[in-house]
Amino acid sequence: MAVETTANIWTMVIGAGPVVKLVLIILVVFSILCWTVILAKIKQFRRARYGNEDFERLFWESPSLTHAYNHARKMSNTPMAGVFLEGYKELKRLQKCPRSRDVAVGLRVWLETLERSLEKGIQEELAAMERTLPFLATTGNAAPFIGLFGTVWGIMRSFHSIGLTGSASLATVAPGISEALVATAAGLAAAIPAVIAFNGFMSWMGRLEMQLQGFSNDFLNTVERQLLHGKENSQEPT
């Protein structure tokens, strides 16, 4: 039964008009690219998740920020390490600036500057993780309409055939309508995985952003404690 149904679908595709065939080709290309993006993103998010866990553990176990920095440079593809590197480099630049005579004001300026730098790092990492996700949204939104266009065109072709033959029997109309509906099915087949994957990835993005924001706060707290204890000069990079 399944083999027969598949054979019938291929027969309808082969017998479809050139416009419907073009629509099906476009949808197949969309579907292939969509699955390529989905599989690549699953791998990227999984790597980011485990990389963040490893770096966060390393950060808390490191005796100094310099030690964490030396390891972070080897984990540049890890979002949390990327945020840390952005903050650490800004910290080194701040340490080279003239000190304020008012310790409280100087501390506040340092922390505000670091916070902006860390926020920049977070946005850069999120932008890198979000890359190619708009394609999934585009596929989910556009594919059904592309398929619908193929269906409408196919139905128009069927009615045109009815006008030429002068017969409106089911045997005359059904084959053309079946061919047209294949385009709608192809559009949905491309759109449904894209929409599900996009929503899933955006949920992961939300959790990743919360994780990076939490780490940013931990980094600021660590630096603040070191500054309050007068240990900032002991954290020079090697």
Tens of pLDDT, residue by residue over 74-104, are 887 899 999 999 999 998 888 876 665 555 6
The DSSP code for 235 is G
Taking residues 195-204, report their average pLDDT. Answer: 96
Question: CB 34: neighbour CB atoms within 10 A?
Answer: 22
Alpha carbon distance 238, 236 (integer Å): 7
Say whether pLDDT at 59 is over 80: yes
Taking residues 210-217, report their average pLDDT. Answer: 95
Amino acid identity of residue 230, one-letter, is: G
pLDDT at 184 (0 to 100): 87
- pTM tops 0.85: no
pLDDT at 75 (0 to 100): 87
At 159, the pLDDT band (50, 70, 90 cuts) reads: confident
Handedness of CA 138, 142, 147, 150 (dihedral sign): negative
Alpha carbon distance 132, 29 (integer Å): 16
Q: Hey, what are 71's tokens?
A: 């390891």
**186 in Cβ contact with 159 (< 8 Å):** no
**181 in Cβ contact with 21 (< 8 Å):** no
At 119, the pLDDT band (50, 70, 90 cuts) reads: very high
Amino acid identity of residue 211, one-letter, is: Q
